[in-house]
Structure formats: structure tokens, C-alpha cells
Amino acid sequence: MLEVRDTEVVGLHGWIVVDGRVLHDQSWFGDAFETQVGDAWPPDLTPVRLPGVTLTLVSEWANINYSHLLFDAIPRLDLFERSGYSIDKVDTILCPTPIHGIPRWTQLGLDPSRIVYADPKVTYETETLLAPNFPGARFVLSSWAAGFLRDRLSVPAEGQHRRLYIPRTTTRLLTNEADVWAILEAHGFETVDPGTSPRDARAAFAAADLVVGAHGAGFVDTVFCPVGTPILEFIPTDHPFPFYFSSAVACGLRHHYLVGESESHRPPGEIQSSLANFHVETELLKRAIQRLIYITDTGESPRSSRVRSL
């Protein structure tokens, strides 16, 4: 936890500036902030004064991406509470702007009358700022953060023994999704898209026996699956990040993955999201589904497996 006076919190990403210097420990970029942010600093910002004590829970991309909200922003509240500070002594709580379908900050016990949502055109000038560090490491959900999410945001299961498929609908699309869905539908799967579902997707994941889908923000709600649930993640060769392996380990899930070839590849070391579409091998998928259904029936499985080895 950082406590500092007379500082700024900048724009949607909540970059903290003290005496003209960005505090890297509060940022997703860490020590690489200067080289990776470059000229992305927001222009023409309007200063807004926040008197008294301000707690910031803002984090990069948490205003537009569900995974960054749950991995990077909400666990900061746990760090704040563990630090010994009292939320009753905070005048303003600076939060990422709401996203459709996400758990609201009020579900975490925050007073809505004290919440201010980060604005892309505003730099907030704070009198006293409380700022939790970035929670853990990039691309990784820590076990303590997973426990906080499951404890504070879990909902009752809706049904039981459900087999869920998480589709991709924006970028990194499955080019052979029709073939993939035909295989899954034949084995009793249903589609759940947390970003567009009119119902609370957490309730579906809480009832899941098996989850399959492509790497993406829709996978975040697997943190609400029962302990031991097998999940099968389609990982594009141009986007091999360990978000959901780490969250599966942190939540006690059984992680399996199937690598799919991307249509194009970025330069080595690129950390931004890939936009390239990809495909998975349907014959291998058939074998994987049969194996995972067997696992759900018998309970047999190592914690993580590379389905390609079947």
C-alpha cells in the first residue's frame, strides 16, 4: 500500500504521478512502463480536485476488459483491507468505469455515493491518495486474489452438471468454429458468453462440470467453477499467455489446453493482444472431449495437461 499527499491519478488507466514521475509499482507495466507506454500518454487532460482521502482501484484496461478488471483491479481492494486501513475513513473511491455484465463495485460493499469513475479526459488531483500496488505479476492470478474473488463475488449455482462453451465474438476468432461447435453440441454443451448474456454468467460457471473455450476475457468466470472442474483452453500460437493456467491453479481447477495455429504472428516479445484468427484440429478435439468427459465421470486427471499428448 502506498500513502502519498498531493499527487495525480491520470485518465482511464489510473497512472499515479508524483512530482512528474510515474510510480511504476502501481502499474501493470511495472519497470517497463517508460519503454512500453511510449507516446500513449492521454492528451488535453482536465484537472479535477478530490479533497480528503482517495482510494484508487483503477488499473490498465480494467474499464474495457473483464479479465483485467478481475485480475488487476478488484484484488487491490483486498490489499487495501489487509493493510489495516478503514474504508470508512475514505472520502472518494476511484474505480474503473462499469462494464456490461460485470460485478458492480457495490457488490463488494463499497458506498456508491463515494465512488468516482475514472475518466479518459481527467487527471484527478488528490489531497491524500491510498494506492494498493499491482496485485501480483502480469498474466498471473495469485492464489490470495483468487480466494478474494471467490469469497466476495461467488453466486449460487444455476443448475448442475453443465458443460459450457465460451465463444470468441470479437478478435482472435476460431476460423472453424462451426466444426468445433458441432462436436461440442453433440456432447451436450451449451454456449455461455459472459459479455452478452442477459443472465449472470457466474451462476452458470458455478454449476459447471466441464468448460471449453478459446483464450480470452470470457474465460475469467472460470474462477467461480467448483474446485476440481476440468477446463480446456484453446490457445492460439500468436497469443500464448498463461492467464487461465494461473487462475486454474489458484482456484484448484484441472487445466488442459489445445494449441491452435494462428493465421499470422507478431514480432517476438510483443505483449499486446493478438488480433489473428486461428483454428483447432477437430480430430484432436474429439479425442480431447471424450477424455475430459471421462475425467468428469471418474475424477481422474493431473492438474494440467497438454491435450496434444493424448
pLDDT exceeds 80 at position 308: no
What strands lie across the sheet with 21-22, from one edge to the other? Answer: 21-22, 15-18, 2-10, 122-131, 46-56, 92-95, 115-117
In this predicted model, what pLDDT tens digit does every residue of 100-136 receive, in sequence order?
Answer: 556 678 888 899 999 999 999 999 999 999 999 999 8
Exposed / middle / buried, residue 20 (Cβ in 10 Å: 0-12, 13-18, 19+)? exposed
pLDDT reported for residue 75: 96
What is the average pLDDT value for the chain, to the nearest integer? Answer: 90
All CATH 3.40.50 domain ranges of the chain, comma separated, are 162-309
In this predicted model, what pLDDT tens digit does every residue of 94-109 receive, in sequence order?
Answer: 999 877 556 678 888 8
In the chain, DSSP finds a helix count (H) and a strand count (E) of: 8, 14
CATH number for the domain whose boundaries are 162-309: 3.40.50
The mean per-residue pLDDT over the stretch 145-166 comes to: 95
Instruction: Outline where 98-242 has alpha helix (H).
Output: 143-153, 177-186, 201-205
Q: Within its chain, how far is the Cα of 242 from the centroid? A: 12
DSSP 174: B
Q: Within its chain, how far is the Cα of 225 from the centroid? A: 15
261 φ/ψ angles, rounded to the nearest 5 degrees: -75, 125
pLDDT reported for residue 299: 67
Q: What percent of the chain has pLDDT over 90?
A: 68
What pTM did the predictor assign? 0.89
In this predicted model, what pLDDT tens digit does every residue of 5-42 receive, in sequence order?
Answer: 999 999 999 999 998 889 988 999 888 888 888 767 88
pLDDT exceeds 60 at position 63: yes
What is the pLDDT confidence band of residue 141, given thresholds at 50, 70 and 90?
A: very high
